Amino acid sequence: MNFKSIAKIVSGASITILLFFSAPASAQTYLDEYKLYQQAIEDGDPEAALRHGRAAWQAAEEELGDHNLTGILAFNYGQQALYTDAEAALEALRRADELAKAGIAELPKDDLALFLAYADFEIDDSSRRRAANLRNILEDIENSGATTTTDVAKMWLGLALSDVQNGRYNHAKKSAPSAEAAVVSVSPEDYRTRATTLILQGIPLLVPTPRHRREIQNSLELFETAIELFPPQKSIDDFDQILAQALAWEHAGHAAYVSDDHRGEAHPEGSYEYTLFEPRMKSAEECGIEWTNRSPPKYPPKALQRGYIGAIVVGYSLDDNDKVLEPRILAEVPRGVFGEITLESMKDWRLETTVLDDPQCRKNRLTMFSFIIH
């Protein structure tokens, strides 16, 4: 399961620019680049800030060498590059740390340690050692009662994403709620990122086996809470991907809940089909939709052998001949397993009666399939 795309929605981290007020009279290049770096930050131009930030640091290395200003510029560039180029950030932050430990550069010790840990983690987030180092620092910050920053919120979310993606489910049961609390603290209006943290809380309760009824139920409550955060959608063309993920996981949860009784089957679901759009889509009954052939996709034998649970969210329309038009996968859990067979099965769907010639009947139809295992 790949959640890296979800991480991209996180709000941009804060930047703490360390200022300096005196410099050798001969210094020119690094001061010019530093001024351009500051201007880029003020203008909200991250690409220019990265370019000038690195140039200022490198110029200081050539002109000043081991100097307090070199450490400041390395620190500034390291935190600026932290979420876009972890290797470059780590290089700069290690240099800043070297100068700080030598007593040459005056830098914020706690921030430097946090940024170093995150850069190291980003280079290989599958490393338990690197994840544990970042986790310990974040937990110390959390336990200290310090004000949550945007950086801390983003790092908690990155850690929770990694915990889930790398199967560290017991750790995810702590990191995901911490990520939600941090996101709500710094960006209470950011419902999409909060929904992501709710999904990440539900997955560790649902995926590991053996599954327990109480944990499955708790996961369903988390997915449903995530779904309720979203406003009505305009169309399947711009349907929110995070909302679609929440729907898919919610249906996967239902699949797990009833799996003891329905092994190896797939069932269309529609509990949210008509209420997710504005204007509201009409129900099948209101539109006169009756299918003569709506066979569900077959459960892939390979997936059955490997013990998958799964769900698909599909958006489609109905053409003038009452056939399924351009079905598209809005979300798939797990990714790359059920999508192809689902779309293939929908090619054979046939309607018994003519559907009302109404956009609320023909456009933005939504259906969900839950793939159930024992």
Q: Tell me, yes or no, whether 116 lies in a domain.
A: no
CB 283 within 8 A of CB 274: yes
Domain housing 352? 232-372
The answer on 142 and 70 residing in a single domain is no
Q: What is the mean pLDDT of the chain?
A: 86
For residue 193, is it within any domain? yes
Residue 320 and residue 205 share a domain: no
Q: Residue 38 burial by CB count (10 A; 0-12/13-18/19+): exposed, middle or buried?
A: middle
pLDDT in tens, 79-122: 999 999 999 999 999 999 999 999 999 999 999 999 999 999 99
| Phi, psi (degrees; rounded to nearest 5) at 155 | -70, -40
Residue bearing the bigger pLDDT, 338 or 120: 120
279 and 222 in a common domain: no
At 58, is the pLDDT very low, low, confident or very high (cuts 50, 70, 90)? very high
In a domain, 3, yes or no: no
* Tens digits of residue pLDDT in 32-47: 999 999 999 999 999 9
Same domain? For 127 and 222 the reply is yes
Same domain, 89 and 157: no
State the CATH number of the domain containing residue 268: 3.30.2420.10
End-to-end alpha carbon distance in the chain: 21
Residues 222 and 266 in one domain: no
Mean pLDDT over residues 274-296, rounded? 80
Please give the share of the chain, as a percent, with pLDDT higher than 90.
Answer: 59
What is the Cα gyration radius of the chain?
25
Q: How far is CA 258 from the centre of its chain?
A: 28
Does 78 share its domain with 39? yes
Residue 8 falls within a domain, yes or no?
Answer: no
Determine the pLDDT at residue 344.
84
191-231 pLDDT, tens per residue? 999 999 999 999 999 998 888 889 999 999 999 999 999 99
